Structure 1
Amino acid sequence: MIGRIRGLLLEKTPGHALVECAGLGYEIDIPYTTFFHLPETGQEVTLHTHFAVREDAQSLFGFASRLDRDLFRLLIKVNGVGPKLAVGILSGLDAQQFIRCVEARDINSLVKLPGVGKKTAERLLIEMADRIGQLEGQFIPSVPGVTASGTPQVVPVAGHDPREEAESALISLGYKPQEAARAIAKVAEPDMTSEALIRLALRNMIPVG
């Protein structure tokens, strides 16, 4: 099991990171809540990871905090929730936000996440209610680029259009290009970061499927 990687961040795009460690380049799938915590390329990064092996694929998933990684491991144990959907859930809500939704039985916030319909949201509330106790009291390591309150400090990337980056992120989650464009246009305001656009759009979009 590969549980943690520290190395040089070679590439980053919404949903993916390439990290060089001991001469090897690891392709890592990441949720968007982790993407916005990443340093600039060429700098050192540490990710908490989960290595998934299936008959037809091997995938490495990375997370900015151990809490997010451990929640991911609990999510994929829920009936009908695979790694892709779990990453989608953690792209819209970080671990602490998801835990608050479960504790408050906030089904409305869950059904706004990509790929989460009403039945899946109900299953998440029921099955995760008994499991999130395993996460209570867990220490969350400090992450570069995160404030003391846990809120990401997003540094704009020169030359990137936040709206285009946000649309691409939604499309990679499974939304159609037209849906992504409409969702971003609906919430967009001057000088908004791509992270803010993605978060607001995910909370206002009709769930996929």
Structure 2
Amino acid sequence: MIGRIRGTLAEKQPPEILVDVAGVGYEIHMPMTSFYQLPAVGDEVVVYTHFVVREDAQLLFGFADKMERGLFRELIKANGVGPKLGLAILSGMSASQFLASVQNEDVSALVSLPGIGKKTAERLVVELKDRLAKFGKAQSIAVPPPSSDLLSANTFVEVNDTREEAQSALIALGYKPAQASKLVDSVYSEGMESEALIREALKAAI
């Protein structure tokens, strides 16, 4: 299993990145909470990974730290939760927020995430509450905003429309096109970069 990758951050196109390791490019899917913590393109990056092998694909999922990766691994063990839904859950709320939601049996917070209905949320609480105890007592904290240098124009591969990129990222995370468009339009203001726009759209969805 590929557990960690260290290399040069070659591309950032949320929710995916490309990391160059000695000339080999690794495509990695990341939850947005980890994506916000990435350095600028061209800098060295360390990503903790989870490798998924399917009949039709081999996929790498990356995380900023071992805790978030551990939560992802517990999530995809739950009934009805695959890697895509796990990614969406950890994009809509931070690891600490997710832990707090499960520990406090806050079904309403989980239902606000894409692909999570009331029955799924209730099942997640039942299945995960005891299993997540090993992560300790969570505090419901907000995701820290990225620093100004992470929001510079050089951070992203060039795109013509910031809103289109943000909408594409939300759709990749499980939101329906109409919902993604509505969320992006509701928080967009002139001059916003894609990363900040996605972050605010995800916050508006909760």
TM-score band, normalised by the shorter chain?
0.7 to 0.9
Q: The residue matched to 2:85 in structure 1 has which SS?
A: helix
1:9-51 deviation line (CA, Å, top 9, x unaligned) = 1111111111111332111111111111111111100000001
Whether the 8 Å CA contact 1:101–1:110 is kept in 2: the answer is yes
1:81-132 deviation line (CA, Å, top 9, x unaligned) = 0011000101111211100111111111111111111111111111110111
Q: How far apart, CA to CA, are the structure 2 residues paired with 1:193 and 1:111? A: 28
Pick from 142, 151, 166 the counterpart of residue 144 of structure 2.
151
Please say if 1:97 is aligned against 2:97: yes
Q: How far apart, CA to CA, are the structure 2 residues paired with 1:195 and 1:86? A: 20
1:65 positional shift? 1.1
The equivalent of 1:130 in structure 2 is 130
In the alignment, residue 151 of structure 1 is paired with which amino acid?
P
In the alignment, residue 30 of structure 1 is paired with which amino acid?
M
Whether the 8 Å CA contact 1:11–1:17 is kept in 2: the answer is yes
Q: How far apart, CA to CA, are the structure 2 residues paired with 1:133 and 1:101? A: 13
1:198 positional shift? 3.2
1:150 positional shift? 6.9
Please say if 1:88 is aligned against 2:81: no
In the alignment, residue 48 of structure 1 is paired with which amino acid?
Y
Please say if 1:78 is aligned against 2:90: no
Whether the 8 Å CA contact 1:13–1:35 is kept in 2: the answer is no
The equivalent of 1:167 in structure 2 is 167
- Provide TM-score, normalisation by structure 1: 0.83
Q: CA RMSD in A?
A: 2.5
Change (3 A) 1:169 1:150: closer
Unaligned segments of structure 1, at least 5 residues: 138-148
The equivalent of 1:19 in structure 2 is 19
Please say if 1:180 is aligned against 2:180: yes
Whether the 8 Å CA contact 2:94–2:143 is kept in 1: the answer is no
Q: The residue matched to 1:37 in structure 2 has which SS?
A: coil
1:68 positional shift? 0.5
Q: How many residues align?
A: 196
Change (3 A) 1:93 1:87: same
In the alignment, residue 146 of structure 2 is paired with which amino acid?
Q
The equivalent of 1:142 in structure 2 is none
1:59 positional shift? 0.8
Unaligned segments of structure 2, at least 5 residues: none
Change (3 A) 1:130 1:172: same
In the alignment, residue 153 of structure 1 is paired with which amino acid?
P
